[in-house]
Structure 1
Amino acid sequence: MRTGTISRNTKETAIEVVVNLDGTGEYDIATGIGFLDHMIEQFSRHSLIDVTLKVDGDLHVDQHHTVEDSAIALGEALLQAMGEKRGIARYGQAYSPMDETLARVALDISGRPWLVWKAGFSQPRLGEMDTELFEHWFQSIAQAAGITLHVELMYGQNNHHIIEAIYKGFARSMRQAVELDPRKGDAIPSTKGLLGKGTIEA
């Protein structure tokens, strides 16, 4: 099994995360922010990546540290679980409809972190979560996991539908990208022979 375990402790947050890339989408999420829990649960269920994530953050200050650090720790656990990335499909993409909303997500587990974000919201909060922090969550997980990530809202009106479609699209794209391709054996899917965080070209 391809698993990753990260403990991340700072003066702002204490985080424990475990992932299993070869799971069934089982999850146990507690960040202290209910709406963020719901979105990470969607990620786990639709990616089939098992995720246990516990966060004790300084929510008395604001949500920023908890949101950012949860994404960093989850990204680090995913990166650890992928190891040398031998045999993975590497690329993933998904169109994700939710009622009136359609989101498109494409990614490359390239070792070159990048986020292209073309989405926005018409209200400042969903539940108790600041909507401006969603882009930052995706930026942080892309950076920590070494993912080139493109997120685009094609259209949509309901803010809940918009972000849920994005998380589900990210999940489906990750499911594709981390799956083992039997035709590749244990080959690293790069002409450079290396796919790791910090790789300049792959």
Structure 2
Amino acid sequence: PTDVELAKNMGCRAIYLQNSPETLKEKGLEEVCALATTDWDQIAEFLFAGERKAEVRRTTKETDIDVALNLDGNGTCDISTGLGFFDHMLEQIGKHSGMDLTIHVKGDLEVDEHHTIEDTAIVLGECIYQALGSKRGIERYGYALPMDDCLCQVCLDFGGRPWLVWDAEFKREKIGEMPTEMFLHFFKSLSDAAKMNLNIKAEGQNEHHKIEGIFKALARALKMAIKRDIYHFELPSSKGVL
């Protein structure tokens, strides 16, 4: 910790050779710590390829949205949109992809849920796109998973060409406070903003399980696709550009 304090006094950041920065919190040095790990491959990746973080703020007459993420985080989430079920679904993205995700939204819920859900997807997509940077070394592609009675498949490609294939139907008008018609709209806006191809299919009887399975499958697909290999630090494309 005294070395991290030295870094703070010098105006730079530190890599802390411990698995947890808990001891730094007591001294107020957490922000100075760029990385806390004993994994030298992770340290090499950080020094060689850099951080993959982004923050996007979008303010309109309808919504005020702040999204921040770290693709190489630990799945830590801080999410508040004013829609409980939507918060729960967004938390699945962070938790099961391993990215740290902060989403704070103030929307015109007195009108309805549409603007809050759509604009959140746009800002989250932009944040993912920025954090990916050059895309060098990423796997690019990503997942199917079962959830009780449901089978959900989300395949994605960070190829730079947005497209959505949606094969999921819902019989309920709402799940929680979230209209089921907005699920398609959310993923379309997310695909466009992140410039990724999404192919989503879901089957099953329980509507809650079905949509939660889709969000979890998206998260696992993201985890696969954003995985980075600094020892093969090339664009995963024969075109040479993504």
Same fold (TM over 0.5): yes
Q: CA deviation at 1:83?
A: 0.6
Paired AA for residue 216 in structure 2: K
2-side partners of 1:128 and 1:181: how far apart? Answer: 40
Map of 1:199 onto structure 2: none
Map of 1:37 onto structure 2: 87
Where structure 2 has 5 or more consecutive residues not aligned to the other structure, the ranges are 1-50
Map of 2:222 onto structure 1: 174
The structure whose residues are more often helix, as a share, is 2
Q: CA deviation at 1:184?
A: 2.1
Deviation by residue 1:13-38 (Cα, 9 ceiling, x = unmatched): 00101000000110000011111000
Q: CA deviation at 1:84?
A: 1.1
Count of aligned pairs between the two proteins:
192
The structure whose residues are more often strand, as a share, is 1
Runs of 4+ in 1 over 4 A off after TM superposition: none
Map of 1:158 onto structure 2: 206
Mapped pair 1:118 → 2:146? no
Q: CA deviation at 1:182?
A: 4.2
Larger relative CO (CA 8 A, sep 6+): 1 or 2? 1
Mapped pair 1:190 → 2:237? yes
Paired AA for residue 165 in structure 1: G
Map of 1:198 onto structure 2: none
Map of 1:11 onto structure 2: 61
Instruction: Show the 5 A alignment for 1:109-148.
Output: 109-148=158-197
Mapped pair 1:49 → 2:99? yes
Deviation by residue 1:174-200 (Cα, 9 ceiling, x = unmatched): 000001034522x111122211xxxxx
Q: Secondary structure at the match of 1:87?
A: coil
Deviation by residue 1:28-66 (Cα, 9 ceiling, x = unmatched): 000111110000001110000110000011111111100
Mapped pair 1:72 → 2:122? yes
Deviation by residue 1:116-163 (Cα, 9 ceiling, x = unmatched): 00001110000111011011100111100001000001x210000000
Q: Secondary structure at the match of 1:91?
A: coil
Map of 2:13 onto structure 1: none
What is the percent sequence identity of the aligned residues? Answer: 52
2-side partners of 1:11 and 1:33: how far apart? Answer: 19
Paired AA for residue 157 in structure 1: Q
What is the RMSD computed on CA atoms of the aligned residues? 0.8
Map of 2:45 onto structure 1: none
2-side partners of 1:73 and 1:111: how far apart? Answer: 17
Q: Secondary structure at the match of 1:80?
A: helix
Question: TM-score, normalization: structure 1?
Answer: 0.93
Rg larger in structure: 2
